[in-house]
Amino acid sequence: MEKAAKADHTPFKRNAGKGHMDSLTSILVPIHREGHRFVIIFAAVTVVFFLLWQPLGWIGVVLTLWCLYFFRDPDRVTPQREGLVISPADGVVNLITEASPPPELGLGDMRRTRVTIFMNVFNCHVNRAPVAGKVKRIAYRPGQFLNASLDKASDDNERNSMVIERADGSEIVVVQIAGLVARRIVCDVAEGKELKAGERYGIIRFGSRLDVYLPEGAIPLVALGQTAIAGETVLADGISVEPHHI
């Protein structure tokens, strides 16, 4: 009887251990390579803080943990249906309006529906391709570092614009825009690159926004104030027959 009881409990313990490992894995997400040196710097400064004054060191620990959290790079499951435009960033939809794409792209003055996603310092800042297609053009323009939540940030702030051409020939524009504390826009792709929907293509450090200029006929499916998840939230649908409301 005693041996049987041990045999019954062994599988339970093994499964319980596996469950703990799965939970730990789900919490520990990879860190984007742009964050590695910042985490090291924060950790080194924290050690110095502890040597100077212990309470200051604990503040450094909190800041180091925030730095790790900021540069997290989780996996995402991206919808792949034809016609969908996926959010390229984590954040809040704070503008849905009509506007012309950045002039440096040479796309003319035709106005398009623009969806703006504002990222605060607690959002994941890894940027993802909103659609599958070929990178047709990339244009960087230096500028100011105004609050990225302001409408005029689209025109005045430092930005990196990219045109993606889909298989049907339609084009979508996605613009990385620096913010009040953002000082570096990173774009890891070059013109001619074939991207998959939801594929990582860059990051902006420490607060910013992304503008998405939808192709003609794409219907916005998000609302102002809605939280978007990069690589997962559907921003618009190019083949939907639902009415278009801004």
Which residues, 6+ apart, have CB-to-CB distance to 188 below 8 Å? Answer: 200, 201, 202
Distance CA 240, CA 148 (A): 30
Catalytic sites, residue numbers: 208
Give the pLDDT of residue 58. 95
Q: Residue 139 in contact with residue 105, Cβ under 8 Å? A: yes
Amino acid identity of 246? I
Helices (H) and strands (E) in the chain, counts: 4, 14
Q: What pairs with residue 211 in β-bridges?
A: 116, 175
Give the pLDDT of residue 183. 66
pTM above 0.85, yes or no: no
Nearest C-alpha neighbor of 197 from the set 79, 115, 90 = 79
Distance CA 60, CA 144 (A): 30
Nearest C-alpha neighbor of 75 from the set 246, 241, 227, 231 = 231
The structure tokens listed for 87 are 């959010």
pLDDT tens for the chain, 246 residues long, are: 444 444 444 443 444 444 444 443 445 678 888 888 889 999 999 999 999 999 999 999 999 998 888 889 999 999 988 889 999 999 999 999 999 999 999 999 999 999 999 998 889 989 999 999 999 999 999 988 777 777 777 788 899 999 999 999 999 999 999 887 666 899 999 999 999 999 999 998 876 899 999 988 788 999 999 999 999 999 999 775 555 544
Direct distance between the N- and C-terminal alpha carbons of the chain, in angstroms, rounded to an integer: 71
Give the pLDDT of residue 121. 85
Give the pLDDT of residue 14. 44
3-state secondary structure of 182: coil
Q: Residue 94 in contact with residue 116, Cβ under 8 Å? A: yes
